[in-house]
Amino acid sequence: MEGEPPVFGWLGRTVVRHPWWTIVTWLVAAAVAVALAPKLDTHTDQQDFLPTKYESVQAGKLADSAFPSGSQKTSNELMVVKRSDGQPLTAADQTKIGQAAQTLQAKHYPNVTAVQTGPQALSKNHRVQVVAIPLPIGWTDQKLEKKNEDGIKQFRLGAADVFKGSGLQYGVTGQVSSTVDNADSDNKTLALIGVATIALIIILILAIFRAPLAAALPIVVIALVLFVSNSVSAIIGKAFGLKFDPSLETLIVIVLFGIGTDYILFLLFRFRERLRLGEDKKTAMMVTVERVGEAITSAAGAVIVAFLVLLLAKFKSFGALGPQLAIAVGVMLITALTLVPALLSLLGRAVFWPSKSWQKEPTGSFYTRLGNAVGRRPLVTAVASGIVLLALAAATLGFKADYDFSAGQPQSTESAKALKDLQASLPPGLTDPTQVYVKGNGPLDKPAIEQFRQTLMHANGVGQVQPAEINPAGTVAKIGVVLKLNPSSNEAINLVKGPLRTTAHQNAPPGTTVLVGGTTAVFGDINKVNSRDLSVILPVAVALIAIILALLLRSLVAPVYLVIAVLLGFTATLGSSVLLFQGAEGKPGLTFQLPIILYLFVLAIGTDYNILMIARLREEAREGHEPRRAAAVGIQHAGPTVAAAGIILAGTFAVLLISPLSFLAQIGFGVAIGILLSAFVVSTFFVPALTALIGHAAWWPGHADRAKNNGSGPPAEEPSELAGQPN
C-alpha cells in the first residue's frame, strides 16, 4: 500500500514465504535464551530500592556497621497471649506465660535464639501479654528466610503443646508469621488468577470468532513468550545488576497475556478482513503484516518507551520493573511479527474453523451505526466524551497514598487475629518500632543519651520508648520508638518523616548526629521518592510517546490531541479508583504503587488503541474518504478490534479483583477501568470525533492522509451517508 513503510511489506513476504524457517528460528533463539539464563535476582526489602541519600537508608547502613552481624536487623515476631475467657490476665497467668517462654526458648527452634517476656510486656488493661521472638531479617538470603519460616512453624507447634489446657490462647504475628500465613493463600490466588485469565481469554475469543484454534493460539504463544522473556530478563538483569521485586511478578503475567492477546487480535481481525475480500491465505497475511505491522510496532514501541522511562525512577523497585516489562513486550512484539504470522499463514482459514460467519462482513452492524453517528455529530461526541473524562478526572484531587500492607492481607489468619488483639490493648507500633540512632564522634555520654530518650518519650504520637542499646564501641546508640499509631498508616508516616524527625534532630545530644530509620521512616522516604518520580517520569514518557506518534503519523497536530486524550484517560482512571475505594468503600487511601502502575498500563497500553484507531482513520482517508466519513468507516472497521482487545485486556486485569490482597484488587480495578475508558471512550469516541472535526489539518505538516485516488471520493460500494449532516 502506498505510504506504508517497505520494511513491513518485506517482513510479511519473508515470514509468509518461509513459515517453517521462521518457526524453527524462533524456537532455536528461545531455547538458547532459556539455556543461558541465570536465576532471576529478586529483592523484597523496600529499603534496598531507595537511593542512599535518604535518611532511612543511611540509618540502616549505620546499623549494619555499628552493631554485631544479625542484631541490627530483626523481625519483631510477637506472640500475643490472652485468656480464653476474655478476662484480664491474673498473676498466675503471667507466671504460666513466663514459664512457657523459658520452655520454648530451651527448644532451640531454627533461628529462635531468644523468647522474651516479663511484667513490662503486660498491657495496662491486663488483657494481653506479649512474648518477643526476634528473628534475623534475611530478605535477600533465601536460606535464612526459609529457616525463619521453619522456625516460626515449629515454634507455633511447640506453643500449642505448652499452652494446652492452660486456659490461655495465643497467636504469633509479625513479618515472618504473616508470610507463613499468607504463603498458601498467595500461591492459591496466583494459580486461580492464572487459570481465570486463561479461561477468560479463551471464552471471549471463542465468543468473538467461534473458533477453538483462534482461542488457543494466544494461550500457547504467550505461554512460550512468558517463559522466554523471563529468561531474557534474567540475562539482562545479571548483566546490568538490576533488582527485581517478586511481589510484582503477577503483573508481568497479566501484562503479557493482555498485550499479547491484543497484538494477536490485531492480526486476526485484519487477516479475517483480507480473507473476506477473497485473498488467499498467504496474500492475506502478507497484506495484514504490511498494514498492521507499523501500528503494532508503534504501539509496542510506545509501551516499551513508557516502561523504560521507569529507569529514571529513584525508587528502584519500579526502576527494575520497567526493563522487565519492556523486555516482555519486546519479545512479544518480535513474536507477533514473526511466529504468529508464520503460524497463521500455515493455518489459513482453518484458524476460524468451524465457524462460517467470518466469511462475510455483517451489514448494519453495531459499529457501522456507531461510526455513522460519530461521523454525523463529531462535535457533540467530542464534548460528551470529554465531559465524562473530566468529571472522573476531578476526583483525582482526593487521592491519598496508603502504605498499610497488613490491612490488605486476609484477616482470618493467626497473625492477623493476633495483631488485632495486640492493637486493642497495646500501642500498634509495638510490632514495628521506629529506630532512632545516635552517632557520636567518640564514646557517647550515657546520661545525655538517657535525657534524649526521655525527650522522645514526650514527643507527639509516641506510645513507648525502649531502653537505648549501645554498640560495643560505645559510639552508636539505638533507641526503639513505639508509636501510638499503626506504623504503616499515613498518619504514622507523616509523623515520622515530619515532627518526630524534627524533634529527634533538634534535641540531638551535643557532638552527635541523629538518624531516624525503621519501616515507617522508609515509607516516609518512599513517599518523597514517589512524588519526585511521578513529576519526572510522566512528562518524559508523554514527550517520548508524542515523538513516536509523530513519527508514525508524520504529523505534529494529531500527536498533541492524542497525548491529551491519553492523559485525560489516565487521570480519569485514577479518579475512578478514588471514587470507588476511598469514597464508596471508605478506605483511608489507595496503595502507594497505584499511580505509577496506572501510568504504566493506562498511559502506555491505552496508547495502543489510539494508535490502532488513528492508523485506521489515516488509512480510510487515503482511500479517499473525507474526514467525517473516514471517522465513520474507521470506527466500523477498527471499532470491533479495539472493543475485543479492550474487553480481553481489561478482563485479564479484572481477574485480580478475586485476590484477597487489597493492593492487587485495587490494581486490578484501576487498570481494568482505565483500559475500558481508553478503548470505549477515548479511542472509540473522543479521538475519532476530534480527528473528524480537525479534518485535513490533523495530519499537518506531512499530510499522510493524502488520498491515493487524488481526492476522487470514496469507493462506489461505500457511499457516504454523512453528506450535509450537522455537528
Domain spans of the chain, in order of start: 1-36+210-359, 74-173, 362-410+530-727, 418-524
Going by C-alpha positions, the residue among 365, 364, 393, 384 that lies closest to residue 685 is 384
C-alpha cell at 320: 527494575
Please tell us whether the domain made up of 74-173 is placed in CATH 2.60.40.10: no
Who has greater pLDDT, 465 or 357?
465
Burial class (CB in 10 A: 0-12, 13-18, 19+), 312: middle
pLDDT of residue 96: 94
The one-letter amino acid code at 387 reads I
Least trusted range by pLDDT, from 200-204, 275-279, 709-713:
709-713
Who has greater pLDDT, 548 or 27?
27
Is pTM beyond 0.85 here? no
Q: Which residues does 612 contact at the CB level (< 8 Å), separation at least 6?
A: 266, 295, 299, 638, 641, 642, 645, 683
Identify each DSSP E strand in 573-689 by its residue range.
590-591
The three-state secondary structure class of 600 is helix
Res. 78: pLDDT tops 70: yes
pLDDT of residue 407: 61
Alpha-carbon torsion, ordered 118, 127, 111, 39, to 10 deg: -150
Q: How confident is the model at residue 413 (pLDDT cuts 50, 70, 90)?
A: confident
Are both 1-36+210-359 and 418-524 of the same fold?
A: no
CB 382 within 8 A of CB 686: yes
The CATH architecture assigned to 362-410+530-727 reads Up-down Bundle (1.20)
Place of cell 523481625: 75
Q: How confident is the model at residue 48 (pLDDT cuts 50, 70, 90)?
A: low
Going by C-alpha positions, the residue among 613, 615, 618 that lies closest to residue 636 is 613
pLDDT by residue (tens digit) across 256-267? 888 888 899 889
Res. 708: pLDDT tops 70: no
pLDDT by residue (tens digit) across 312-322? 877 766 666 77
Least trusted range by pLDDT, from 336-345, 456-465, 552-561, 645-654:
645-654
Distance CA 87, CA 105 (A): 27
* DSSP conformation class of 358: G
Cα-Cα-Cα-Cα dihedral sign, residues 480, 481, 484, 486? negative
pLDDT of residue 601: 75
Who has greater pLDDT, 18 or 134?
18
C-alpha cell at 417: 487475629
Q: How confident is the model at residue 349 (pLDDT cuts 50, 70, 90)?
A: very high
Distance CA 247, CA 597 (A): 13
Res. 372: pLDDT tops 90: yes
Average of pLDDT values for 331-345? 95
Res. 36: pLDDT tops 50: yes
C-alpha cell at 443: 564514646
The CATH architecture assigned to 418-524 reads 2-Layer Sandwich (3.30)
pLDDT of residue 294: 85
Q: Under CATH, to which class is 1-36+210-359 assigned?
A: mainly alpha
pLDDT of residue 713: 42
pLDDT of residue 681: 94
pLDDT by residue (tens digit) across 645-698? 888 888 878 888 877 777 778 888 998 999 999 999 999 999 999 999 999 898
pLDDT of residue 348: 92
Res. 382: pLDDT tops 90: yes
Res. 65: pLDDT tops 60: yes
Percentage of the chain beyond pLDDT 90 is 39
Q: Which helix (H) or strand (E) holds 482?
A: strand 476-483
pLDDT by residue (tens digit) across 482-512? 998 888 777 888 899 889 999 999 999 999 9
pLDDT by residue (tens digit) across 93-152? 999 999 999 999 999 998 888 899 988 888 889 999 999 998 876 544 567 778 888 889
pLDDT of residue 49: 61
The three-state secondary structure class of 56 is helix
Whether cis (ω within 30° of 0) applies to the bond prior to 701 is: yes
pLDDT by residue (tens digit) across 142-197? 677 788 888 899 999 999 999 999 999 999 988 788 878 877 666 677 677 778 87
Least trusted range by pLDDT, from 113-117, 286-290, 405-409, 509-513:
405-409
Q: Which helix (H) or strand (E) holds 696?
A: none
Res. 271: pLDDT tops 90: yes
Res. 570: pLDDT tops 80: yes
- Count CB atoms within 10 A of the CB of residue 481: 25
Who has greater pLDDT, 106 or 238?
106
